[in-house]
Amino acid sequence: MSRPTLPTGITLLKAPARDATGDNAPVEAVVRGILADVAATGDDALRRYSRTFDGLDVATFEVDARERQAAVDALDPAARDDMMFAIERVRDFAEAQRATILPLEVEPLPGLHLGHRVIPIRRIGAYVPGGRYPLLSAPVMTIVPAVVAGCSEIVACLPPTAHPAMIAGCHLAGATRIFRVGGAQAIAAMAYGTESVPAVDKIVGPGNAYVNEAKRQVFGRVGIDQLAGPSEIYVLADATGDAAMIATDLLAQAEHDVRTRVGLITTDEALGAAVAAEVDRQLADLSTADVAGRAWADYGEIAIAADDAAMIAYSDAIAAEHLQVHTRDPHATAALLSNYGSLFIGPLASVVYSDKCCGTNHTLPTMAAGRYTGGLWVGSYLKIATHQWLSPEGVAAVAPHAIGQSAREGLEGHRRAAAARVA
């Protein structure tokens, strides 16, 4: 998505050097070929793509019980403790969310009974990215909510080059089956099924541009959670903002990828200038500056807002994936915001806490999708399916209207079906 047109009251102290929108046609064509190949030749295609993209010959795609346990045993105690802390926090929050999703039974008219059931999706496919770094929180975020939702099968796919700790994360989070398949070919395998990988009902989890495009192309055959672009962080701040802390948070997210969108919207121009200087200062000794620095140079933005209203309006237009609020009264500011993936209220609420282990999910809408959807949550793994039943009294109330409407529409079969229930 390109940057929205600047509204009244916004000027840019630093504008992005590049547009976030790229030409997706080459990716689209490559992915279409991969999907067709996997659908036609199954495991043979997966092996070819493993050799081509990963440089590995994978004899057996599924990670067996012995290998799963070995990966867990290889974790050092501190790493396992961190992972279990994250699993517990995500599970606890998902359970609290699940408790708010209730079945329904109502009788709006005598004899007319309506309701819905809350049904877990049977088989979930969780894509676990390899990426630039081994993101050990990734399997926690996609798998634990599926366990809490009650999904009977949770299939995890991760690149064969992924760090062994990622296998441990999938196992501890609750995956029922784990496969060494990555990229667009993993999405194809989960959508169509192969000799080794079962077809799933819904695919969740982030990935690179090829994974994202593959999810887009298989949508309809299977469900998907969302289409995720590069990560994003924006900070809203007034004169009370701490320039060093804001710069630290922007760079923490920028090190994810060279295409990360990072920005500050502030009502205080002096703070904007101070943050720009702090970013340059901190990049000088940041070990991931080759990534974070490029993201800042290409996609970094500092916007100066004439007042709070302009700041809120511009933030809602951007609808950032991660939105931090560093204002004098952050809760009051937060109450005015509508569009974001996840909101971090006050300077102590860092995106990093959610990214790793505090309990909210880090799989969130990007590229302004926060205008119409939230992030991955336990409800993403559930279906709300309606039902109805009628007594003769209910038929007497409903049937005349159904008969009349069917007749006016010229649908004689409908009219007969409605009339057949009338005593």
Average pLDDT over residues 185-191: 98
* C-beta of residue 187 within 8 angstroms of C-beta of residue 155: no
Q: Tokens representing 336?
A: 């005015």
Could you tell me the pLDDT band of residue 229, with boundaries at 50, 70 and 90? confident
In whole angstroms, what is the distance from residue 261 CA to residue 2 CA?
11
* C-beta of residue 94 within 8 angstroms of C-beta of residue 145: yes
Q: CATH code for 42-105+119-224? A: 3.40.50.1980
pLDDT at residue 220 greater than cutoff 60: yes
Q: Do domains 10-17+229-374 and 42-105+119-224 have the same CATH topology?
A: yes
DSSP-derived pairing of the beta strands 177-180 and 153-158 = parallel
Give me the pLDDT at residue 7, please: 86
pLDDT at residue 345 greater than cutoff 90: yes
Could you tell me the pLDDT band of residue 353, with boundaries at 50, 70 and 90? very high
pLDDT at residue 23 greater than cutoff 70: no
In the beta sheet, which residues pair with residue 12? 303
Quote the percentage of the chain above a pLDDT of 90: 93
Q: What one-letter code names the amino acid at 312?
A: I
Residue of 321, 326, 412, 414 marked catalytic: 321
Q: Tokens representing 9?
A: 């009251």
* C-beta of residue 318 within 8 angstroms of C-beta of residue 276: no
Q: Which residue has the tokens 């974070």?
A: 292
Q: What one-letter code names the amino acid at 136?
A: L
Could you tell me the residue ranges of all domains in the chain?
10-17+229-374, 42-105+119-224, 391-419
In whole angstroms, what is the distance from residue 337 CA to residue 162 CA?
38
* C-beta of residue 262 within 8 angstroms of C-beta of residue 250: yes
Polymer length in residues for the chain:
423
Give me the pLDDT at residue 18, please: 87
Residue of 171, 256, 322, 326 marked catalytic: 322
Give me the pLDDT at residue 1, please: 55
- Mean pLDDT estimate for the chain: 96
pLDDT single digits (tens) 92-151: 999 999 999 999 999 999 999 999 999 999 999 999 998 666 789 999 999 999 999 999
Give the closest residue to 227 by CA, choosing from 243, 244, 206: 206
Residue 371's CB is within 10 A of a number of other CB atoms, namely 13
75-109 residues labelled b (16+ CB within 10 A) or e (exposed): beeeebebbeebbebbbebbeebbeeeeeeeeeee
Q: Tokens representing 161?
A: 């080059």
Per-residue HEC secondary structure of the chain comes to CCCCCCCCCEEEEECCCCCCCCCCHHHHHHHHHHHHHHHHHCHHHHHHHHHHHHCCCCCCCECCHHHHHHHHHCCCHHHHHHHHHHHHHHHHHHHHHHCCCCCEEEEEECCEEEEEEEEECCEEEEECCCCCCCCCCHHHHHHHHHHHHCCCEEEEEECCCCCHHHHHHHHHHCCCEEEECCHHHHHHHHHHCCCCCCCCCEEECCCCHHHHHHHHHHECCEEECCCCCCCEEEEEECCCCCHHHHHHHHHHHHCCCCCCEEEEEECCHHHHHHHHHHHHHHHCCCCCHHHHHHHHHHHCEEEEECCHHHHHHHHHHHCCCEEEEECCCHHHHHHCCCCCCEEEECCCCCHHHHHHCCCCCCCCCCCCHHHCCCCCCHHHHEEEEEEEEECHHHHHHHHHHHHHHHHHHCCHHHHHHHHCCCC
Give me the pLDDT at residue 22, please: 66
Q: Has this prediction a pTM greater than 0.75?
A: yes
In whole angstroms, what is the distance from residue 103 CA to residue 387 CA?
11
pLDDT at residue 2 greater than cutoff 70: no
Average pLDDT over residues 379-404: 98
pLDDT at residue 3 greater than cutoff 70: no
Which CATH code, of 3.30.2350.10, 3.50.50.60, 1.10.10.10, 3.40.50.1980, is assigned to 10-17+229-374? 3.40.50.1980
Catalytic residue status for 322: yes
Give me the pLDDT at residue 20, please: 72
In whole angstroms, what is the distance from residue 85 CA to residue 91 CA?
10
Average pLDDT over residues 146-166: 96
pLDDT at residue 185 greater than cutoff 80: yes
C-alpha 272 chain-centroid distance? 30
Could you tell me the pLDDT band of residue 5, with boundaries at 50, 70 and 90? confident
Residue 134: CB partners within 8 Å, gap ≥ 6? Answer: 162, 163, 165, 166
pLDDT single digits (tens) 56-76: 999 999 999 999 999 999 999
In whole angstroms, what is the distance from residue 147 CA to residue 26 CA?
37
Give me the pLDDT at residue 132, please: 62
Could you tell me the pLDDT band of residue 19, with boundaries at 50, 70 and 90? confident
Catalytic residue status for 116: no
